[in-house]
Amino acid sequence: MNRLLFEKTGKAIYISHLDTMAMFPRIFLRAGLHVKFTRGMSPHAYVSIALPLSVGTSSCCELLDFTLEEDNVPLETLPARLNPYFPAGIRVLSAYDSDRKIKELRYLRCTVTLEYDQGISDDGCRDIEALFRQDQILVEKKTKKGLAETDIRPMIESVHVSRISSGELALESLICAQNPSLNPQLLVGAIERYLPELAPDFAKAHRTEVFDESFQVFR
């Protein structure tokens, strides 16, 4: 299996997961390369992206699996070949062969930036850190049957709170990536629920790294 590591930042964070999937085969074609097709009634180029990224979340550790039709293309040349053809904000960082299965991917490190238009005090910063040390953190989660309460504490390995500016805090968090997965926006949901006076005016998430079960970087 061929794999790409790519980043999705800037304007590209608003491109949905499905649109991103649809984009990649076209990028390969623009570069004069071909991705293997599925068989069946409606053949289409097969690509698969690990851990669908929510609209509005940026990342520098996205993984895409594919198989190239051409077998004489050195994979390390792919970033330079593909990068001229992306929309603004998407860039391939590396390309390689991997036999590691995506299901081995276990943890995700991400930074959630909390923005306070009226500023945020050091006390507030401490209270938020304390919140994520609680034994149980119940948040409301949308499910098919409506809103349900879920304890997200088991899905959180660690959350460190640091100050970026007088009005911005960063939650450096290590959370479960899949089975079950935790949407980092639920960390903000927890603040809104337990510390409503510390609810940010805006929050954005950025994925920084993915790990396997033993906290080794997953590639």
Partner 1 sequence: MTDLINRILPRVQKPARYTGGEYNEIIKDKASTEVRIAFCFPDTYEIGMSNIGMRILYGILNEMDGVWCERMFAPWGDMEEEMRRHDLPLWALESHDPMEDFDLIAFSIGYEMAYSNVLNMLELGHIPLKSCDRGDDLKHIVFAGGTSVYNAEPMADFLDFCAVGEGEDLDVEIVECYRSAKRRGLSRREFLREVSKIPGVYVPSFYRHTYHEDGTIREIIPLDGAPETVTKRIVQDMDGAYYPTKTIVPSTQIVHDRTVLELFRGCIRGCRFCQAGFCYRPVRPKSPDRLYELAVASLENSGYDEMTLSSLSTSDYKKLGEFADRMLDYCIPRGINLSLPSLRADNFSVELMEKVQKVRKSGLTFAPEAGTQRLRDAINKNVTEEDILRSCSVAFAGGWNKVKLYFMLGLPTETDEDVIGIAELTYKVLKAWKEHSPNKSRGCTITVSTAFFVPKNGTPFQWEAQITPEEYLRRCALLKSKMPSKSIRYAYHPSDLSMLEAVLCRGDRKLCDVLLRAHELGCKMDGWTDYFQMDKWMQAFSDCGVDPAWYAQRERGRDEVFPWETVSIGISKKFFWREREAAYRSEITPDCRRQCTGCGADRLYQGGPCDE
CB closer to partner 1 out of 119 and 154: 119
| Interhelix angle 122-131/185-194, nearest 10 degrees | 110
User: Which residues sit at the interface with partner 1, rule CB under 8 A?
Assistant: 10-12, 14-16, 19, 22-23, 25-30, 32, 37, 42-45, 55-56, 85-89, 115, 117, 167-168, 202, 204
Sort residue 185 into left (φ over 0), alpha (ψ -120 to 50) or beta.
alpha
Distance of closest approach, residue 8 Cβ to partner 1, in angstroms? 11
What Å distances lie between residue 178 and 1, 27, 57, 107, 115, CA to CA? 21, 28, 17, 8, 27
Distance, in Å, from the CA atom of 158 to the CA atom of 161, rounded to the nearest integer, reads 10
Distance of closest approach, residue 172 Cβ to partner 1, in angstroms? 19
Query: In what helix (H) or strand (E) does residue 29 lie, and over which residues does it extend?
Result: helix 17-30
CB closer to partner 1 out of 202 and 215: 202
* DSSP conformation class of 167: T
Distance of closest approach, residue 174 Cβ to partner 1, in angstroms? 23
Distance of closest approach, residue 194 Cβ to partner 1, in angstroms? 22
